[in-house]
Structure 1
Amino acid sequence: MAKNNTAKFFVLDTNVLLHDPSCLFRFEEHDIYLPMITLEELDNNKKGVSEVSRNARQTSRYLEEIMGDSTIDIANGCPLSSATNPHVSGSLFLQTDPVDFELPMLAGSIADNQILNIVLNLKKKLPKREVILVSKDINIRIKGRALGIVVQDYFNDKVMGDTELLYSGYKELPEDFWEKHSKAMESWQEEGRMFYKLTGPLCSDFLINEFVFYDYDKPFHAIVKKIEGDSATLQIVQDFTLSKSNVWGINSRNKEQNFALNLLLDPNVDFVTLLGQAGTGKTLLTLAAALEQVLDKKIYSEIIMTRVTISVGEDIGFLPGTEEEKMAPWMGALEDNLDVLNKSDDEAGAWGRAATQDLIQSRIKIKSLNFMRGRTFLKKFLIIDEAQNLTPKQMKTLITRAGPGTKVVCLGNIAQIDTPYLTEGSSGLTYVVDRFKGWGHNGHVTLMRGERSRLADYATETL
């Protein structure tokens, strides 16, 4: 194991490999060590169709690819560098010798404790190198610190450390904005919409499809359509707070909801992400816009709705019935919002509302995420609810299902993540918000104000 002493020696817990198989190529010039118990746990998790099982199999394939020729001396390490990962200069080491268990205060039969014992053994064998345990498991990190081991979370999957810095989709303009940006201003109308071309220092910081608002003496709400150096073309947003501009009987109640409806109803925006706390109107606005474009404007052929099936409490076991019947308990939010939309038409009467309800049900399909791989959706309005529980890899799988004429809308609240080992910084929803910002066919809005009820708003603030 002779190696440059400045290169660190990372021991990987199994959960890191099961979370991100490509982590083997994320440590650059540093070395990686895998205990034998980690390989055993990979083998135990390889069967099945879950994301964990797929990742276990992919990790095993990567390991075989790295080890390559059977004549290589594993004790001296296998180079991690390859044609696809030339930037990696570290080596992979596997446990080749048995290690006596020397932690009497811990149970030796538990895998986590065996890994801790191996790390302590490596610290003794390699006194001149920094040995670090990397794990997504908080408890093993706590035990490791108690034993004097340097431990770290796996950070490479995180899009950003502080989600407070996450792109919100809109920007407030300063009070002196017009003084600095109106000298060479141009304005015109096109297809009934008002456009402004401004030049000034703030224009270069704008992003395509980012909303800008000025809430001083003369309120101004617009969306950025084009950026050329220090110039930006802004389009005045449509005002959905007015009763005559309602969308399936729904009006926006604040500026963020109005921004969201502008994106949801824009056929040139193929991908929309809406973040917000409970009760901010994410699902209701999306369904209203979807029904408007499927039933009235006929831009899309049908609505497809899916979500991650993770229980808040204990699992109630297997559910009987077809795919839609199995998904029905998870779609309570859909039913609640459809009731609101159906009751918004006061003139239809009971028979009219019943007929509308049947029509709506025929155009909404509920699909399970388990059967999305390999599918292509043509001219569909795809809604992914509870998207904060998806990993970046799962998110990519879903978004790449979109065929020509399909719009994808992701809804979620990154403060309510139920998936193990997924955090606000590593969620697939955070990942796509950050990666898609600035693309001409993408839009994002973070909804701030709860509009469900005064009770729900107070609970959100105080509990």
Structure 2
Amino acid sequence: MLDTNVLLHDPQSIFKFENNNLAIPVEVLEELDAIKSEQSTERGRNARRVHRILQELLPDSHSLLEGVKLNNGGTLSVIINRYFESNDFSSPAMQRFRAVLHDPKKKDNRIIACALYVQEQYAPPTILVTKDVNVQLKARAVGLESEDYLNDKVPEVDDEDGYREVPVTIYELQRFCSEGHLDVGETMDGQPPLEINEYVLLRSDEDKTMPARHISKGNVRRLRIPEFVKAPGGIPIRARNLEQQFFMDALLDDSISLVTCFGKAGTGKTLISTVCAISQVLDEMGRFDGVSISRPVIALGKDIGFLPGSLEEKMKPWLQPYYDALEVLMPSKPPKDPQFAAKKVAKKKVRKFGDDSPSESSSGIATPVKPYERLITNGVVEIEALCFIRGRSIARRFFILDEAQQLTPHEVKTVITRISEGSKIVLIGDPAQIDNPYVDSRSNGLVYCHNRMKGHAVSAHVKLSKGERSKLAELAADLL
């Protein structure tokens, strides 16, 4: 038996239960009917898709209760709880239901009661499939088997270090340093084969190391990263650890169109992806026309309600981390550092991104324009709202999707399929910090995308584990 949230999560879930008798409570249809009017949300679109699928599978000539056979070998039917219809609670299952769940008017409780009715009327087992953990617990409390929707969950993997070490001799390491590539073989003792674009660390018996990227068939090549990366007029940003070198190599490689990155707070996901994006837009090559930044609108804690203003003003609170990153990369005031204080930059009469002169506010007081605001004004940096991305074709853009772990696999697929030739998309997030109640560390869009796209030449994956924001932030991320 399917709960509403499973159908909203994946409308095609109806076809993914092979050789099973699939039942949908009529209460689920009522909930879908209330949600289908949401025009600009993924939930509304999925509710409408489910209605269309059910209409095709259950034509007027068929009884909803009798159901129909599916191509995968199972059956599909819509169930009505006859106990509620006749107000008969004398059965053992209904007695358990009333003893534990005192409010039969709640939709979740009515769905559980419908599953109990099926359990008594049909041969076992009866399983309620739901992505709501609370519904699973209540179902088990009344003696009903319940489980999560597992079709889009990725296998559990031990990815503690984020990269593997490859043993080499000191002579092979020296040849790698001079030639830039080396054949190390595809397999390692007791470990899975190396994936394409997997980052590794070459280590000799003398404990000498060198980072590398596996290209194909056991061939690894040296990382291609500059000494530093910077935005025009900004401060230079250097990779502070090995994993950040991996990340920077993937971001700057033209052959990689998709980069997924896991990392806890303070590891540099936002800062490094932003500076690498802007530097590639504004360099002499000019591969990209601009940078697009977006993130799902899911609040931590209580929602603050309606946000007035334009799209940029509505999205600004959610994208404040990127404004903070741009302020770090292109500071309004020179950093208090002798190397910057001693350096004097001559003012140019004509600037590429407009004048630095202060703008005059409505009160008549001149307000200085921050350097990064010129990038936004000129369209170099754009703020994207995910709710309006369906149907678009994003060409020659460097697209950064932050907090991707909050999205479902279907939502991530919707975003990635918008990326046209010549564009690049970066998905970053922390699978350990999920506020979306219907995804977890194994079923969220970020982890799912990495699992399904690994091994392809156009994609690369990096895990950042060392915090670089501050000692306090690193300690808090590990201990709290």
Superposed, 1:1-400 pairs within 5 Å as 11-49=1-39, 50-68=41-59, 70-81=60-71, 88-96=72-80, 98-99=82-83, 100-101=88-89, 102=94, 103-105=97-99, 106-126=102-122, 128-160=123-155, 162=156, 164=158, 168=162, 170-174=163-167, 177-178=168-169, 194-199=180-185, 201-202=187-188, 205-216=193-204, 217-227=207-217, 232-238=218-224, 244-248=227-231, 249-297=236-284, 298-343=286-331, 346=340, 347=343, 356-361=371-376, 362=378, 363-400=380-417
Count of residues in correspondence between the two structures: 429
State the Cα RMSD in Å.
Answer: 2.7
* Identical amino acids, percent of aligned pairs: 37
Shift of 1:119: 2.2
Asked if the contact 2:130–2:149 (Cα under 8 Å) also holds between the matched residues in 1, the reply is yes
Amino acid at match of 1:380: R
Q: Write the distance in 2 (CA, Å) between the matches of 1:427 and 1:396.
A: 12
Q: 1:450 to 1:117 in 2, by over 3 A?
A: same
The one of 386, 405, 412 aligned to 2:429: 412
3-state SS of the aligned residue for 1:416?
coil
Are residues 286 and 201 of structure 1, via their aligned partners in 2, closer, same or farther at CA, if it must alter by over 3 Å? closer
Offset at 1:117?
Answer: 2.1
Residue identity in the other structure for 2:148: D
| Secondary structure, counterpart of 2:98 in structure 1 | coil
Give yes or no for contact 2:10–2:410 (8 Å, CA) kept in 1.
no
Alpha-carbon distance in 2 for matches of 1:33, 1:187? 60
CA contact (8 A) 2:229 2:279 kept: no
Match of 1:438 among 452, 455, 461: 455
Q: Secondary structure at the match of 1:93?
A: strand
Aligned equivalents of 1:386, 1:165: Cα separation in 2: 19
Measure how far apart 1:238 and its partner are: 3.5
CA shift for structure 1 position 434:
0.9
Question: What SS does the corresponding residue of 1:360 show, helix, strand or coil?
Answer: helix
With the length of structure 2 as denominator, give the TM-score of the two structures. 0.83
Deviation at 1:116, TM superposition (A): 2.2
Q: Deviations over 1:336-359 (max 9, x none)?
A: 111211248833669799785354
- Equivalent of 2:438 in 421, 440, 460: 421
C-alpha distance after superposition, 1:147-166 (max 9, x if no partner) = 11111111112123x25459
TM-score (norm 1): 0.85
CA contact (8 A) 2:230 2:329 kept: no
1:118 Cα deviation from its structure 2 partner: 2.2
Shift in Å, 1:42: 1.5
Moved more, 259-268 or 336-345: 336-345
In structure 2, the gaps of 5 or more residues are 349-355, 357-368
Residue 394 (structure 1) shift: 1.2
User: Where does the alignment leave 5 or more consecutive residues of structure 1 unmatched?
Assistant: 1-10, 82-87
Note closer, same or farther for the CA distance 1:368–1:355 as it changes in structure 2 (3 Å cut): closer
Q: d(CA) in 2 for partners of 1:435 and 1:213?
A: 24
CA distance in 2, matches of 1:355, 1:21: 46
Conserved 8 A contact 2:22-2:76: yes
Determine the structure 2 residue equivalent to 1:7. none
Partner of 2:351: none
CA contact (8 A) 2:132 2:437 kept: no
Quote the Cα distance in structure 2 between the aligned partners of 1:313 and 1:199.
49
**CA–CA distance in structure 2, aligned partners of residues 359 and 107 of structure 1:** 57
Q: Whole-Å Cα distance in 1 between the matches of residues 382 and 63 of structure 2?
A: 56
- The answer to whether the 8 A contact 2:202-2:212 is kept is no
CA distance in 1, matches of 2:462, 2:412: 18
SS, match of residue 383 in structure 1: strand
